[in-house]
Amino acid sequence: MIVKICGIKDAIGFDAALASGADLLGFVFFPASPRAVTPAEAGALSRRHAGGPGRVGLFVDPTDAAIASVLDVCPLDLIQLHGEEDPARCAAVRARFGVPVMKALGIAEAADLDALAGFAPVVDRFLLDAKPPPGAALPGGNAAPFDWGLMAGRDVPKPWLLAGGLTPANVAEAIRASGAPGVDVSSGVERARGVKDPRLIADFIRAARAG
Ligand SMILES: O=C(O)c1ccccc1N[C@@H]1O[C@H](COP(=O)(O)O)[C@@H](O)[C@H]1O
């Protein structure tokens, strides 16, 4: 079970995710997010510990320059594209930067899963999240779940993470219902919007692994 803790923006969140055994840590490079960090801040957090969890950079329709400005100061193990990037853009990012790409797709109904086939040749992972609720300011990180049963028995053509509205209380059921091999959380391990809670991080990872 792969567990990603997303939206790490300070040492408390970083150290808690590390201590609790997270596999992946997400840094949000999207200025509109309450979880946004600068490239320099992410680089400094990364240097708190060599090795350990993989570093994921979350971008929303980034320019090449935006990605390069992060990679200059903060090495990434995975680039998460959480905007309207099409397969050609995913392929271009992967080829230009030589970093594996995880494409986030919003899921509301079974037909949304048809998009997976077009992206599969040009990405390394998928992140399947809820579509943003009407009026949401962010394309993700909205504490909104989708119908996990849509994933039951589905053959996803690349490794994937389930996201959207996961919490310590529901993650085990989400894994059971969806068959997900990995999970990603942001809001569900926060005590206030954008503020990670070490106890909730530990509870979430324990519940995901127990499930
Ligand atoms: O977390 C954010 O602020 C964010 C901003 C823009 C795009 C994606 C974002 N987060 C991603 O959304 C999933 C689900 O979040 P939540 O657990 O429902 O709050 C999160 O894991 C991030 O990958």
Please name the residue whose Cα sits nearest to atom 7 of ligand 1. 140
**Res 51: pLDDT:** 85
Residue 211 pLDDT more than 70?
A: no
In short, whether 57's Cβ falls inside 6 Å of ligand 1 is no
> How much distance in Å is there from the Cα of 157 to the middle of ligand 1?
22
Greater confidence, 49 or 159? 159
Ligand 1 touching residue 185 (CB < 6 A): yes
Does the interface ipTM go beyond 0.95? yes
Active site residue 147: no
Mean pLDDT of 190-197: 97
Ligand 1 center from residue 97 Cα (angstroms): 23
In whole angstroms, give the CA distance from residue 118 to residue 130.
19
Q: Please give the distance of CA 39 from its chain centroid, rounded to a whole number.
A: 17
What would the two tokens of residue 60 be?
């929303």
**pLDDT, tens digit (0-9, with 9 covering 90-100), for 65-81:** 999 999 999 999 999 99
**What's the whole-number average pLDDT of the chain?**
97
**Per-residue pLDDT band at 115 (split at 50, 70, 90):** very high
74 a catalytic residue:
no
Residue 52: per-residue pLDDT: 83
What residue type is 51 in one-letter code?
Answer: G
Q: Which ligand 1 atom is at minimum distance from the Cα of 187?
A: 19
Token digits for 42? 């992410």
Going 81 to 160 to 99 to 119, the CA torsion angle's sign is negative
Minimal-distance CA residue to ligand 1 atom 1: 141
Q: Which of 23, 129, 184, 203 is catalytic?
A: 129
Which residue matches tokens 């690349």?
158
120: Cβ contacts below 8 Å, ≥ 6 apart: 157, 158
CATH number of 2-209: 3.20.20.70
What pTM did the predictor assign? 0.97
Ligand 1 atom closest to Cα of 4?
21
Angle between helix 64-71 and helix 87-97 axes, rounded to 10 deg: 40
Number of H helices, E strands in the chain: 7, 10
